[in-house]
Chain A
Amino acid sequence: MPTVVVVDVSLSMTRPVSVEGSEEYQRKHLAAHGLTMLFEHMATNYKLEFTALVVFSSLWELMVPFTRDYNTLQEALSNMDDYDKTCLESALLGVCNIVQQEWGAAIPCQVVLVTDGCLGIGRGSLRHSLATHSQRSDSNRFPLPFPFPSKLYVMCMANLEELQSTDSLDCLERLIDLNNGEGQIFTIDGPLCLKNVQSMFGKLIDLAYTPFHAVLKCGHLTSDVQVFPRPEPFIIDEEIDPIPKAINTDLEIVGFVDIADISSPPVLSRHLVLPIALNREGDEVGPGITDDTEDENSANQIAGKIPNFCVLLHGSLKVEGMVALVQLGPEWYGMLYSQADSKKKSNLMMSLFEPGPEPLPWLGKMAQLGPISDAKENPYGEDDNKSPFPLQPKNKRSYAQNVTVWIKPSGLQTDVQKILRNARKLPEKTQTFYKELNRLRKAALAFGFLELLKGVADMLERECTLLPDTAHPDAAFQLTHAAQQLKVASTGASEYAAYDHNIAPLQTDFSSSSTERM
């Protein structure tokens, strides 16, 4: 889930902060200090996150495009100049553009807005933006809610009292509301100092940037893993089930399915499953905060040489072309599979299905999936040439069941012509002739379109008179019979117009020799 850090570099950020004793700090220094902490945390514990840095005043500038290089981001922090006034709306518009250009509209992003709570004056100030919000047309829509799924975190270089003395806090809260409530405002607890800024950013890290650790289990085979990006809680139905569901930290494999059977299922999100080695204190070996890089390397090397279930699983999934179904919580499932980034690099990946008892109609209810050994005979066949999937739905869809639709004249004409074509090939096409005839009859009865039955009866009678001399004598009998049957049905009288009744071919002296030769 990419992050955009948006830093206020207006003049108000240069307001000094009184810190006893030491040299003089400005609010922007506090901001830089907090962000340094955030970047350091990400570089060690969340290093696959893409982050971009935007600075803004009345204009905005993309200082660092999306990157995983936290040194670059760090350097950029020290290269920020001071500019004029705060103009939040244009900056948020800029964020919209940057994110959509890079990631489209579907990938969730976190926006970390760092400001001092002075929201500008006059046009372009947040107050002005909010005041005119209701009068917007589509061409100058306010950038919130962001067109992509998002969280907006506002990091205020000010404490609560300061913000409450003006209407700043209210304005910022409205900002979050405009983002459909997706986000949070952080303020500094107590006096403005490095320590308190740290604790504020610490809260942000806890909320949004703690790595998700889990245990991947397949019976007794287990592996400690980090799941990246963090799987987010999900609300199934805001009315019935308004509480967000989070995934378990035990990811339990329940069985395996061929890729062809799971067949590109829709997923909520995709995550890397990275095996980690936990040492006794529960910290990660390797990426932990160790000054001694040599130690780190050797620890990595040892971890690399210890067999890990993830690697085994990944290898076999890749070779066999299968996925592992994994239970993420009550009635919530996902799948594990090998994903190749390039020819050389591939990885264990986990996709989350939509929560619910039956996320994929073609697999059926997940709880009803059981081991093949319980089946009377192997549903995959002795030679592995069959599959129990996909499940067939009880009712066929309209396009799979030859429904009759006569809304367009062409639909009706096609059906009539089919009957006519077969009528001319009687008695060879007796079966198809009656099949089409009965289909038309049924539809006409359902639609109350009795006039059509009469019309087609007339048409068949005419066909009878047009039969060439060479025609089989049975043809005339069948045509007359069919026409007569349609005529009686067209009266609507219940004894002839029963929907389930089918017009059967007339049994003639010829029929024994002539029918069934389709």
Chain B
Amino acid sequence: MCNLQSQFTMSFVWVFFTVCNFFPLSMSVSFRKKMKIFSESHKTVFVVDHCPYMAESCRQHVEFDMLVKNRTQGIIPLAPISKSLWTCSVESSMEYCRIMYDIFPFKKLVNFIVSDSGAHVLNSWTQEDQNLQELMAALAAVGPPNPRADPECCSILHGLVAAVEALCKITEYQHEARTMLMENAERVGNRGRIICITNAKSDSHVRMLEDCVQETIHEHNKLAANSDHLMQIQKCELVLIHTYPVGEDSLVSDRPKKELSPVLTSEVHSVRAGRHLATKLNLLVQQHFDLASTTITNIPMKEEQHANTSANYDVELLHHKEAHVDFLKSGDNHVGGNSREGTFKETVTLKWCTPRTNSVELHYCTGAYRISPVDVNSRPSSCLTNFLLNGRSVLLEQPRKSGSKVISHMLSSHGGEIFLHVLSSSRSILEDPPSISEGCGGRVTDYRITDFGEFMRENRLTPFLEPRYKMDGSLEIPLERAKDQLEKHTRYWPMIISQTTIFNMQAVVPLASVIVKETMTDEDVLNCQKTIYNLVDMERKNDPLPISTVGTRGKGPKRDEQYRIMWNELETLVRAHINNSDKHQRVLECLMACRSKPPEEEERKKRGRKREDKEDKSEKLGKDYESDKPWQDSERLKGLLDREKEELAEAEVIKDSPDSPEPPNKKPLITMDEMPTVEKAKGPMSLLSIWSNRINTANSRKHQEFIGRLNSVNNKAELYQHLKEENGMETTENGKAGRQ
């Protein structure tokens, strides 16, 4: 079924023209290729002759009744049939469109017109009309030309006039660009191409057609000048294709592109119908859209008949020629001549590499271009495309004479579209860079890598195709929401393990995961409160905390000091979010009510200024999270350099203070690493106390603990505490106001 054509590689001198659409703009412009959206290929008008003579046979026979194996003997196959000139023209132009739509599904538009006694415009420039199904349905409605119609009434001219009209019509892309550019709207170009397939009578007939187009453009440009909805044609490329039955002599001669006026260029192709016409249009689509051909060789495919063997096949693909940019420029090419079907065409041969790449590998890819198989329905083509559409990728290698293996391309599908990726195969200018561990922050070893991984997964993106609206009715931009979420999630986010206590505690997770949300449900609030009570409970039971002891000599801070650090940190976290909603505020209220505070106000003063400063700072930072310098910057310095020392010192202060609460027990402090079970840490306990502890814990889960009891010291709760607290709050608030 698939004949392997012999490949021969030729030394091929690339005719290297640099298309000079570069202008010396300013000195600092980029190195990149520049492009124009609205070039001639933005708008293509097909004008296909539908006059009676197009119903004539192309005189190229197709055997459609092929003898299949195991057939009853002695049957004479049905006579071959042949296509009409019309059928040849239509299927060739459909093939042109197929390739174009495959490779440029957007911004390259086709308007299809058939011409007989009038012009029939089959579709519009709108993007919805731009697909093969629409065109096929419209063509079916037109049907083949009627050979018995009066030839005198029919003319291709109707179609050509309609084509010029169509070119003056603005496309949605042109409209969008004009609206966007406002006063610079004149920068939006209006160029186009008319491909006219007809059967002309003579060279002078062709000239008449050209004159007609020229004239019509002139007239319509005048009209367009006075219209908001039409655009003047700046440049029009007329491609006249004269087609005639095989075996007849052409009455029209070929003529290369010629400028008829500053606006109009014209070229004439005289082509036999049948596959010759198809080949011509295939070449034209490549020229018009800067396409190039790549042949994938050595594709191993299972034979249907012999399931265990596999043969190698070739598949030819078309794509934008930019995918060959490396070959074009370096002259180091593998362009093989391919004399299949008598047409000499250039194709770059790339060899199939047995799939080795996986989806989690990030290749350095300098371009990705949509492809279209030349022979879309052939078995090797559909084998290859189905393989790719199933989500597999294939690396392609350049066959080099030296035998070295250079992987230069990759075929891969993304959502039902196949792309040819260009992989960089030259030396990297970034080779041997300094490792990240040698630079800033490279010596720190306790980054919260796993936590940040979790953070990243929570902040993954997903497309929102339906427009959403904000409360005020304005359009909501999903990406702005994403940034917003990142802002919220990072208001308090210590980067290293030794900088945080709360994020090392499983018990805090329920609160930490919901407090960052924009809005909380009542259930969320309840969970936060539960978390806080749970922490209170832990404190009462004197559970050890995962306070970092890195760099500390001795045992680290005392247990109550640890809790103080923990509560402070939790408060910083919650405070960072109190402005999100009232519910967030409620969590803070709960936290403030529950967190253990020294019972006596005076004690606070006795702790010395240092401590207060620090607390103030953390509060301030919590509140002013929107300040330019996030807290981390100052905190990380402070945290690392001063913290341990300072806290040790503070611990000393507390211990020495006569007013400090009695340490609950005198057992030596234990670091996290060797944390034994809670019971052990508590020392000998009676069965009763164990039992009542259990009951209490169980009960405390069922109801909200009295605030008084929670804050009690040695089971003595101070009354009217809130008065004091309010006073305290006021001072803080005053303090805050003063700072602002």
A239-B187, A455-B81 given; A492·B143 CB < 8 A: yes
Residues in B neighbouring A270, C-beta threshold 8 A: 364, 430
Residue B444, interface by CB 8 Å:
yes
What is the bound-complex CA distance between A411 and B94, given in angstroms?
Answer: 15
Residue A124, interface by CB 8 Å:
no
Q: A371 near B372 (CB under 8 angstroms)?
A: no
Q: A367 near B477 (CB under 8 angstroms)?
A: yes
Give the Cβ gap from B125 to chain A, nearest Cβ, in Å.
16
Residue A362, interface by CB 8 Å:
yes
Chain A 293-326, CB-CB to B under 8 Å as 1, else 0, gives 0000000010111111111111111011111110
Chain B 24-35, CB-CB to A under 8 Å as 1, else 0, gives 111111111011
What is the bound-complex CA distance between A414 and B372, given in angstroms?
Answer: 20
Residue B385, interface by CB 8 Å:
yes
Residue A510, interface by CB 8 Å:
no
Residues of B116-146 contacting chain A, CB below 8 A: 131-132, 136-137, 139-145
Residues in B neighbouring A262, C-beta threshold 8 A: 362
Please, which residue of chain B has its CB at the minimum distance from the CB of A184? B27
Chain A interface extent, by class: 35 or more
Residues in A neighbouring B37, C-beta threshold 8 A: 237, 239-240
Residues in B neighbouring A100, C-beta threshold 8 A: 330
Residues of B357-386 contacting chain A, CB below 8 A: 359-368, 370, 372-373, 375-378, 381-382, 385
* A-B interface pairs (CB < 8 A), number: 501
Q: B377 near A499 (CB under 8 angstroms)?
A: no
Residues of B455-471 contacting chain A, CB below 8 A: 455-465
Q: A254 near B483 (CB under 8 angstroms)?
A: yes
**Interface-lining segment among B85-93, B197-205, B296-304, B673-681:** B85-93
Residues of B501-540 contacting chain A, CB below 8 A: 517
Residue A123, interface by CB 8 Å:
no
Residue A267, interface by CB 8 Å:
yes
Q: B136 near A446 (CB under 8 angstroms)?
A: yes
What is the bound-complex CA distance between A141 and B16, given in angstroms?
Answer: 9
Please, which residue of chain B has its CB at the minimum distance from the CB of A102? B427
User: Chain A contact residues: over half helix, strand or loop, or mixed?
Assistant: mixed
Residues in A neighbouring B376, C-beta threshold 8 A: 398-399, 403, 405
Checking A320, A392, A492 against B415 with a beta-carbon cut-off of 8 angstroms, the contacting residue is: A392
Chain B 438-450, CB-CB to A under 8 Å as 1, else 0, gives 1111111001111
Residues in A neighbouring B429, C-beta threshold 8 A: 1-2, 50, 103, 107, 229
A316-B452, A455-B64 given; A180·B483 CB < 8 A: no
Residue A388, interface by CB 8 Å:
yes
Residue B436, interface by CB 8 Å:
yes
Q: A391 near B415 (CB under 8 angstroms)?
A: yes
Residues in A neighbouring B463, C-beta threshold 8 A: 363-365, 368-370, 388-389, 391
Q: A105 near B372 (CB under 8 angstroms)?
A: no
Residues in B neighbouring A518, C-beta threshold 8 A: none
What is the bound-complex CA distance between A323 and B15, given in angstroms?
Answer: 41
Residues of A382-402 contacting chain B, CB below 8 A: 384, 388-393, 395-400
CB<8 Å pairs between A and B, sample of 22: A181-B22, A221-B490, A238-B23, A254-B483, A262-B362, A264-B362, A270-B430, A275-B436, A306-B441, A306-B640, A310-B436, A345-B435, A368-B478, A368-B479, A373-B458, A399-B102, A403-B132, A405-B376, A446-B137, A451-B83, A497-B140, A500-B137
Give the Cβ gap from B85 to chain A, nearest Cβ, in Å.
10
**Interface-lining segment among A15-23, A458-466, A473-481:** A458-466
What is the bound-complex CA distance between A455 and B145, given in angstroms?
Answer: 19
Q: B181 near A308 (CB under 8 angstroms)?
A: no
Q: A397 near B78 (CB under 8 angstroms)?
A: no
A266-B421, A314-B436, A320-B456 given; A238·B35 CB < 8 A: yes
Known A321-B360, A393-B416; 11 more pairs at CB < 8 Å? A103-B426, A108-B31, A147-B329, A254-B482, A263-B359, A270-B364, A308-B442, A362-B414, A370-B461, A375-B462, A388-B463
What is the bound-complex CA distance between A197 and B452, given in angstroms?
Answer: 51
Q: B137 near A398 (CB under 8 angstroms)?
A: no
Residue B453, interface by CB 8 Å:
yes
Q: A265 near B25 (CB under 8 angstroms)?
A: no
